[in-house]
Structure 1
Amino acid sequence: MSNAKPTMETYIEMSPRVFEENLTRVDALVGGLVERYARRGLRDLRFVASGSSYNSCVAARPFAERVLGVRVDVFTPSRYLDELERLDVTASDAFEVFVSQSGCSTNIIEAVCAARSRGHETVALTGNVEADLRDEVDAIFEYGVGNETVGFVTMGVLTLMEFIALFSLATAEALGAIDGDGRSAWMGRLSEVPDMHREMQRRAHALMDADREVFLTPGHAFMCGAGAAYGIALEGALKWQETLKAPAIALEPEEYIHGPNMQLTPRSTAFFLDPCLAPGRTHEIYRATRAVTDHAYLLACYGIEDGDANAICLERDVEPEVAPFVLLPAVQVFAGRAMRELGCEPCHPLFDRFEQVVSCKTADYEEICKEKLAQAGFAE
């Protein structure tokens, strides 16, 4: 048994391979959820999730809506509990999916119990079907992440997005929202993701090499993403805070320029994630930010004419709904690598006091984490 535990970077590197493997087993992966959803035909979807799982659902939402042609909502558990009574009046027919990678999130379990008490069908997606969540739901499905053993959800973000996309395609064809050719076209686009993911990883590392002082002096950061990229901006901000212990805020670019941009100084750090097919408003706002600070960065799939050392542009034609899959690894690399090089994974020594008062996981979470490490062949 090895003592070399996997890190966040381990799972970033593994993600494209797991993505490829999941593409070869679509029916086995999503068939159970497709069957559950299809019983009553096309209807709105409602995901209830927290943290990185929430961000994944937000990132995959545009894909699901475009393919299925239905409304897709994403709720945090707190918002879901606050609005549950009203939802039963205004949107009672929505198909609900509760998501927790660990299966130990207390807020998700609370939301499930509330839904069940009101007679809802309770269906869950998780990375651990043996966790406590399984005892509270009507059906539970593993979404293809496998045994991810780091506390900073990494591979789980990409695989949850992939699961939602594959579920949407399979369901849409089964219920006649798209035909076989349409599904094949989208599958072709998804099959290109792993290579672009690897390229984005390489380019992100190169950018960090070039601007090492910036990334190793993390301060407050803006993560700006429009449309389909907003979920990745949310995830980028979350990871910046979790790993580097520095504040970050996720904003749509237009909201960023309506007040938050007034904080800009030459020391500010800002990232702009653009899902569009060509430069537009997000690129323009990025350039405006560069006029104030050299620490502004653009991540996009399209190409740009001027040689910009602060831009990672893959020069690929990528549908906006697929772009989040490609943009994700950059924000993960920035956070995971900087955390390792700075040695800042541990929280402040006094943080234990917080967790003695409030925890977001079930009591057996730590034991489950140890079991996952052992199953993966790593000693505690």
Structure 2
Amino acid sequence: MASIESYLQETPEKMFTIIEKADELFAKVKQAPIERIVITGSGTSYHSGKQMAKQMQRLLQFEVVALYPFEITTETFLKESDKTLVVGISQGGSSYSTYHAMKIARSCGCMTASMAGCENAYIDEVADYVLTVYCGEETAGAKTKGFYCTKLNLLLLALNIGTAQGQISEETYEKEIAAAKAAAEHFKAVYDVSEKWIEAHKETLTSAEEIRITGPASLYGDILESALKLLETMRCPVTGYEFEEFIHGIYNAINEKSTVFILDDGNEPRTNKMKEVLSGWSDSIFLITNYESEQADLVLPTVKNSEALTFNFIIPLQLICAKIPTLRGVDPSTPKDPDFHMKLGSKKMNK
């Protein structure tokens, strides 16, 4: 089984591949009369939709929302839904909950599309448009490469629909593509800086008992994903919150056992004060930025484009998932129970 690290290292190359294949992949769906998009999936798949929905909505100038599969019922589509596209995401392509959400959408008259990380996926069976995420196989239980590639696939979906509908100019299209490519080009530099920082702090990180993550609304999907990955691999309590939500009560739980990662892209003026206050309660308060700051513990050489930061900013947290669990006696690439989904009947298992 390949490691989380090797999949992270593959990510930039896969991003370029996905961009190259976009014209062909979205040729049919971009001609559909779409006026609303609902993205659905669980875990990492949901987080990819949550992270990209606002950007897609800004580009398309119509509603784009991300919902968990359990949130999708016939009441989700009370109005005429023949111009609603429901995009079901499942990295392995075998999620029963995503499959059933897509079936409900179809029964309500919606168009459906699938985004799986493999071809001939189970969820493709209920898709009008098969929009495969060409990231290649990812056998590690904690997915990383697929998260970036799915976010890029969603961005490209919006760009192609918007261009076909006349909502997005050729200039805007090229600008968005250039930003995504620049983020892919910055990936290794961010990875290398993160790797050095983790090595220098490995003893503190290894002893973490509980972890909190907070950051700006613009990275909320990434914050949720970071929390999930750390929880999956570090196997201790982990939660992630948007900065304002963290202030509203969550801070009460911070104590000497807490490890807190504060993400800041330069748009939150209270970040330094937050670090100062929390550092009075715990010695493990880490501020991660992409700008020089005396308060910052780790400064990332990310892409400059603010919306493309999503392809760079959480690399250090994912790399912690790859490197630190082994020091805690955990194989981060292998789920605690490889047969869990079979026992729970939550995925269609490959024969």
State the TM-score, normalized to the length of structure 2: 0.90
- Residue equivalent to 1:18: 14
Q: Does the CA-based 8 Å contact 2:291-2:299 persist in structure 1?
A: no
- Residue equivalent to 2:114: 124
Candidates 115, 126, 129, aligned match of 1:136: 126
SS in 2 for 1:153: coil
- Residue equivalent to 2:301: 314
Q: C-alpha deviations, 1:9-38, integer Å up to 9, x for none?
A: 110111112112323333123334323xxx
**Counterpart AA for 1:298:** L
Of 137-146 and 238-247, more deviation after overlay is shown by 137-146
SS in 2 for 1:272: strand
Of 101-110 and 59-68, more deviation after overlay is shown by 59-68
Q: Does the CA-based 8 Å contact 1:277-1:318 persist in structure 2?
A: no
**Counterpart AA for 2:322:** G
Of 54-63 and 284-293, more deviation after overlay is shown by 284-293
Indicate yes or no: 2:154 matched with 1:164.
yes
Indicate yes or no: 2:97 matched with 1:107.
yes
Q: C-alpha deviations, 1:106-141, integer Å up to 9, x for none?
A: 111121222233333222111123232222333322
Task: List structure 1 segments (4+ residues) > 6 angstroms apart after TM superposition.
Answer: none
- Residue equivalent to 1:301: 290
Q: Does the CA-based 8 Å contact 1:300-1:314 persist in structure 2?
A: no
Q: Does the CA-based 8 Å contact 2:290-2:302 persist in structure 1?
A: yes
- Residue equivalent to 1:8: 4
Indicate yes or no: 2:270 matched with 1:281.
yes
Of 337-346 and 176-185, more deviation after overlay is shown by 337-346
Q: Does the CA-based 8 Å contact 1:29-1:143 persist in structure 2?
A: no
Q: Does the CA-based 8 Å contact 1:220-1:269 persist in structure 2?
A: yes
Q: Among the aligned pairs, what percent are the same residue? A: 21
Structure 1 residue 92, shift from structure 2 partner: 6.8
Structure 1 residue 49, shift from structure 2 partner: 1.0
Q: Does the CA-based 8 Å contact 1:11-1:155 persist in structure 2?
A: yes
The whole-number CA distance in structure 2 between the counterparts of 1:109 and 1:153 is 20
The whole-number CA distance in structure 1 between the counterparts of 2:62 and 2:140 is 35
The whole-number CA distance in structure 1 between the counterparts of 2:327 and 2:139 is 20
- Residue equivalent to 2:36: 44
Evaluate the alpha carbon distance shift between residue 191 and residue 135 of structure 1 in structure 2; reply closer, same or farther with a 3 A threshold: closer
Candidates 213, 218, 223, aligned match of 1:228: 218
**Counterpart AA for 1:292:** W
State the TM-score, normalized to the length of structure 1: 0.84
The whole-number CA distance in structure 2 between the counterparts of 1:144 and 1:335 is 23
The whole-number CA distance in structure 1 between the counterparts of 2:2 and 2:338 is 24
Structure 1 unaligned segments of length 5 or more: list them.
368-380
- Residue equivalent to 2:135: 145
**Counterpart AA for 2:135:** V
Candidates 74, 89, 94, aligned match of 2:84: 94
Structure 1 residue 307, shift from structure 2 partner: 6.1
The whole-number CA distance in structure 1 between the counterparts of 2:347 and 2:199 is 37
The whole-number CA distance in structure 2 between the counterparts of 1:278 and 1:8 is 31
Indicate yes or no: 2:176 matched with 1:186.
yes
RMSD between aligned residues: 2.4
The whole-number CA distance in structure 1 between the counterparts of 2:24 and 2:209 is 44
- Residue equivalent to 1:62: 54
